[in-house]
Amino acid sequence: MFEVRGKTVVITGGARGLGLHFAQCLAQFGANIAVIDLASKPSEAFLELQGKGGNHKYYQADVTDYDGLKSTIDTIANDFGSINGCIPAAGIIRDKPFLEHSKSDIDSTLAVNLNAVFYTVQHCAAKMKEQKSGGSIICIASTASHQSLWPQTITAYTASKFGVRGFTKQAAAELAQYNIRVNSISPGCMMTDMLQSVITGDESRRKLFEDNCVMHRIAKPSELNGIVVYLMSDASSYATAADYRVDGGVL
């Protein structure tokens, strides 16, 4: 029931960070991976997927471009024959005091973290409906979508992630008739490249993140593997409209 071999999964933001890790995880279990990212070419880490099971292909596209993204997802469906899963993982964060957030900060954060999730899920779900195959969609929320993460100053990010959780529930309700499941994951503090750049040389900030959860440590991205494989596989066939917290006890 935990088999994902042969499933084609679309992952946005897959050139780095959690998106890349989700690609690596599912490729290891034999899934076909279609990564969409803004970078003009894939990272060396993505190229290493070629040694794992399944077929893997990189597509350059702007996830905030509704029509351009649809065209890319149409191409993916043609290239792979079907789309069975989707993880809209592209995201940005502005760590800036609320009163200093510019219009550009707000607009860009919501465009990538919320609007693009809507676009990606809509386009992939349309393919799943057309195929009459059902599918699984995993949105990426955050512990910030459950409570304030003060003293971090991430108001636009928090607003976008609350939006993702609300979107997940409504999309799940509307897509259930097509056997398309929509869930979200709320990760805690993960040691991604982005976080590493934030805490390098700042032990006080590292300690802040570590002390924010009952396990008193920052997680490895691999600690999301279990929930990702579960939600993408038939083992979770009766799970939809739910948010799964993997946060070391923050909440």
DSSP 9-38: EEEETTTSHHHHHHHHHHHHTT-EEEEEES
- pLDDT, position 192: 84
Catalytic residues: 157
- pLDDT, position 151: 83
Domains in the chain: boundaries: 8-188+222-241
Residues of the chain with pLDDT below 50 are none
Residues listed for the chain:
251
The CATH fold of domain 8-188+222-241: Rossmann fold (3.40.50)
> Which residue is listed with tokens 């351009």?
68
Whether 154 and 101 have beta carbons less than 8 Å apart is answered as no
The pLDDT mean for the chain works out to: 94
CA-based nearest residue to 135, from 176, 76, 186 = 176
**Reported pTM:** 0.96
Paired sense of beta strands 135-140 and 85-88, if any? parallel
Consecutive H or E run containing 162: helix 155-175
One-letter amino acid for residue 6 of the chain? G
Instruction: Say how far apart CA 91 and CA 140 lie, in whole Å.
Output: 9
- pLDDT, position 209: 87
- pLDDT, position 201: 78
